[in-house]
Each structure stands twice: as structure tokens, then as C-alpha cells.
Structure 1
Amino acid sequence: MESEEFAFWELTSNGGDRWEVEDLPGGFGKPFPNPEIQKYFVTSYGWCEKSQLINLISEGFEAGILDNIQPPITLRDWYAGRHDCGFEYEPHVELLSEDMSKIQEYKTDKIRGPQWNDAEWREVSNTFTNYGSGVRYVMFTHGGKDSKWWAGWYGARVTNSSVTIEQ
């Protein structure tokens, strides 16, 4: 599936029945804490992963500010499962140089939710500070799957992903 909902994402892994976009709260789900958020991405029974490369210079940040002041760079991602199916979810964010060399990264172990979980939305966040000079890109990646190998979209749900830089 390649629709406008995926316009800014590269689908790096599209297993099972592939990524899908659903309306909140979805089957066996809970509403999102911010009522303005009305949709989420959902994974299938095979590993689904997507990434977005953010060019900080083309987004208006000056190299001198990034190198000398090193403003905090904060990532946030929200995930949940369906109440009736277990899931796996994994975020991974890298700060990259001009030549795409990794300067710093944040990655959790796979987060697992059991079948009959509470289906609550949870936030994962990390703030990069004192990362040194040379950061020009942020690579934001997240993925997941269901733990029961059920056809359809029973895996990790993600929404409201963001990367912010304090100015």
C-alpha cells in the first residue's frame, strides 16, 4: 500500500499483510490522549518497519547552531497494542553526519505487549544533548508486528511521531 498517509515515510519492511492506516480507537483499542489525533499506523503479522530521513539544514537549521550550540533534539513516538493480541514494537533514531555516518543513536530493546494487554497508548521519548558537531540528519525508524501470526492488522500501533529541536 502506498497512499498519501505514507507520503513522508519509506516502508523499509512491509511483512505479513503490510502496513495499514486505521481510525482511532480501532478494534479492541483505546482513544488517543490527544483528541486531535484521529488515525494511527498498524503493523501486521510479519515485521513492518518504516523510516523517515530528516535533513536538518533543509528544514532551516544552521550548521553553526547545530555544531556549536547543539540544541536538544527530542524524539517522541506513541505505541499501543490491541487488547486481544500481543505485539512487538521497536523505535530506533540516529543522528547522522553529512556523509550519513552515525554520530549518536537511541534504540530500545523490542517492547513486547502480551495478549489481553490494556491497549493504552504509551510514549517513548529521548532527548539527544552534547552530541558534538556534524549532525545534519535525523533518521527516525520504528516497526513492529503482532505476536500471534494472525492475518490482518493486529500488531503494534504507532502514531503522533515527532522530532523537535529547541531553538
Structure 2
Amino acid sequence: MPSRLRFGAHSNSQIEFIPIGSNRLYDEFKRLSNCRVTSYTWGHFFQRDIQLLTDKLSWHDLACLHPVIEFSVCVAPRWDCASECRICLIFSDGHRWECERQFPQWNDKKWHQLTYHYRQYTRFPTSVTVQLSGKDRQGWAGYYGTKFAQTRLRLLSHTDEGETTNQENETIMEEKIEDELSQAPQSESMPDNLPVDDGDDFVRQSTSPSYSSYGSTDQPHRVVRAWNGLSNNIAALEHYEKAFRVNLTYLSPDHCSVAYIYDNIDDYY
């Protein structure tokens, strides 16, 4: 069974089909993205033990390709309310990444895409657990906290053999004034109906070795496996990427499982 997104205990959020108080956000196919928005108490969203392996490739293939594990999520504040968010990834090999952002009141309401590249593993991790957390910082009743959209986890072939470190990047997304593709009319928002996760909030646990690149330079702590000369094998790499691009469908209230993406773009959400 695929891992499913769940609420943390006492979490409160709702789905906004059109972001309220933030810029609109479009995907690469010019479709308007919906988002999950938090409230005045911490909203925690878990997806535990997301499997990174399928039967498409063997351990030998992974050892040769040594793919980059890429996680990305778009976050945004509401323009008139201060808010904050935290993101935590825990990989099955013990590697951990944490990131947090704070947004002031009267901000520019822009979306920020946060991306993490995990390269420095000795043995490919079989799974990863993801937690997104957010809230407003003014205690306003309603849904004025951080918004989350376009959460994705992908495996990528190496494109830059000179890059060997784990990396955290942030891209501020400029507003796009354009007409999205024709879509069925939708309401502004709807209640969130995720099941509750009874497990511990793992962001607060400290039993695993911690790694964070937020606010500091990246410190290598693992031996980097050498690239094994497959960069010219385009067919193998294309097959690999088609087989292993993974999308976390956090934002669809009806489809919360992991989706393995091939060529059908309708599977994205």
C-alpha cells in the first residue's frame, strides 16, 4: 500500500482552490494550482515511509546511476498576516534535513519554491518520511497561516558531474498575469478531510543525526560515489527518469497517495 498524507494531532487546515491573499500559482502546464492553508495553531502534515524504489530498476542500476533525490515545495504567506513554516525530511539511511521560513505581515504575497538535493549517500535510501508544518504568527481566527502547494519528490540523473554536495535552494516566484487553461469552475475553498496521524511529531525528535543547510554552508558528511560513466547512455537515463519521477499528491483532497509519473500529465494532481 502506498503511503498516505495524514494530519498531525490537533491540526487545522483547509484547501484553497484559488489562493486567498497570495499570488496565483501555476504549474508547468499553465494550470492553476490549489493549495493547503494552515491556521493559528500548528498544522502538521505527514507522509511516512514514501518508497523510492520500484521493480523498474535493480540495486546495481542505482549504484551505477547514483541519482539525485530532489524534494521541492512551494510555500507562501497571506499578504496581511505574518506566518511561518517548517519542513522536515528523514531518509531511511538516517540522513535528515530541516528547513524553516518566517514571513512578515504586509509582505509581497509571493510564492517561494524551496528545493533540496540529496546527493551524498553511500547506499541509496529506500524511503523517506516528509512533514510540512505551518501556522500564522498573529493568532487570527480562520486560515491565515502558511500555504503549501506543488509538493514533489523526484529522482534525477546527474547533470553536473562537478557538483558533489547536498544543496538547499530558494526561488522567489514572480506573479504571472495570464489566463490559465480552461478548467472546471471551482469554489474558493473547502474543508480539509485528511485522516489523523497518531504517531509522534518527528520534527521534535532528536534521536537521528541532524543535517540542515538553512542559514549555513553545506558541510559534506558522506563519501560521494563516483559517477560511473553512464552520462552518455541517454536511453538508459531517459528510461530511468520516466520510471522514477515521483509526485506527492498532498494537495488533492481525493488523491493523497504517491503517484509514479510516466507520460500522463493528468496524474500530477
Q: TM-score, normalised by structure 2?
A: 0.52
The residue that corresponds to 2:23 in the other structure is 30
Gaps of 5+ in 2: 157-239, 241-269
Larger radius of gyration: 2
Shift of 1:69: 3.6
- For residue 45 of structure 1, the aligned residue among 19, 26, 40 is 40
1:30-109 aligned at under 5 Å gives the runs 30-34=23-27, 35-53=30-48, 54-58=50-54, 60-67=56-63, 69-97=65-93, 102=94, 104-108=95-99
Residue type at the aligned position of 1:82: R
Deviations 1:61-87 (A, max 9, x none): 544444554310000000001001010
1-structure distance, mates of 2:142, 2:55: 36
Change (3 A) 1:38 1:51: same
Shift of 1:29: 1.6
The residue that corresponds to 1:19 in the other structure is 13
2-structure distance, mates of 1:131, 1:8: 25
Deviations 1:92-151 (A, max 9, x none): 112214xxxx2x12211x310011111100100011113111511011211110001111
The residue that corresponds to 1:116 in the other structure is 106
Change (3 A) 1:75 1:41: same
The residue that corresponds to 1:151 in the other structure is 141
Residue type at the aligned position of 1:23: F
Shift of 1:51: 1.7
Q: Indicate if the aligned counterparts of 1:11 and 1:51 stay in contact, CA closer than 8 A.
A: yes
Q: Indicate if the aligned counterparts of 1:83 and 1:117 stay in contact, CA closer than 8 A.
A: yes
State the identity %.
22
Residue type at the aligned position of 2:135: K
1-structure distance, mates of 2:57, 2:81: 42
2-structure distance, mates of 1:61, 1:142: 29
Gaps of 5+ in 1: 1-6
User: 3-state SS of the aligned residue for 1:45?
Assistant: coil
Residue type at the aligned position of 2:19: P
2-structure distance, mates of 1:75, 1:31: 22
Deviations 1:35-56 (A, max 9, x none): 4143100011000111213112
2-structure distance, mates of 1:130, 1:11: 31
Higher relative contact order (CA 8 A, sep 6+): 1
- For residue 163 of structure 1, the aligned residue among 148, 153, 175 is 153
Aligned residues: 152
Residue type at the aligned position of 1:153: Y
Q: Say which structure is richer in strand.
A: 1
The residue that corresponds to 2:129 in the other structure is 139
User: 3-state SS of the aligned residue for 1:153?
Assistant: coil
Residue type at the aligned position of 1:75: F
The residue that corresponds to 1:4 in the other structure is none
Change (3 A) 1:148 1:31: same
